[in-house]
Amino acid sequence: MFITYDVSKQLIAKLRGIVAVIQPRDEDLADQLRRAATSVLLNLAEGQKSSNGNKLRHYKIAQDSAQEIVGALDAAEGWGIIVAAPEERALLDRLLALLWKLTHSPKLQPKAKRTGAKQALAR
C-alpha cells in the first residue's frame, strides 16, 4: 500500500498490549481506542482508491481518528490505567506527521472557485 497505511498497521499492533491493559479497568475507553485505531487504517485504505475530493475527506477523517488515539492514551494515563507508552506515542507522532502531509498536499486541495470579478476577467 503506502507508508502511512503501513505505519497505521504497526501502530495497531503496538496498541494491542495497551488495549489489553485498559480493557479490564475501562471497557469503553479500550473500545474507543480500538475503534479509533481501526478507523485510521480503514479510512486510509478507502481514501487511497478515491478521487481527490473523497481522498482528502478520508485522509482528514483518518487524521481526526489518530488525534482521538492521542486523547484515549492521555485519558488512560490520566486515570492511572497506564503509566506511559513512549514507543506507541513515537509511532503515533510519526503517523500524525504523515497524515498532516497527506491532508496538506497541494494535489489534494480543492481548486478555488472563480468569483464574479475573476470570471469577468477570464472572459
Q: What is the pLDDT of residue 122?
A: 55
d(CA 87, CA 49): 30
Q: Which residues of the chain have pLDDT under 50?
A: 114
Residue 2 three-state SS: coil
Q: What is the pLDDT of residue 107?
A: 86
Q: What is the pLDDT of residue 113?
A: 59
Q: Which domains does the chain have, with CATH numbers?
A: 3-122 (1.20.1440.60)
Q: What is the pLDDT of residue 23?
A: 98
Type of residue numbered 83: V
**Model pTM?**
0.86
pLDDT tens for residues 11-28? 999 999 999 999 999 999
Type of residue numbered 70: V
* Maximum CA extent, the chain: 67
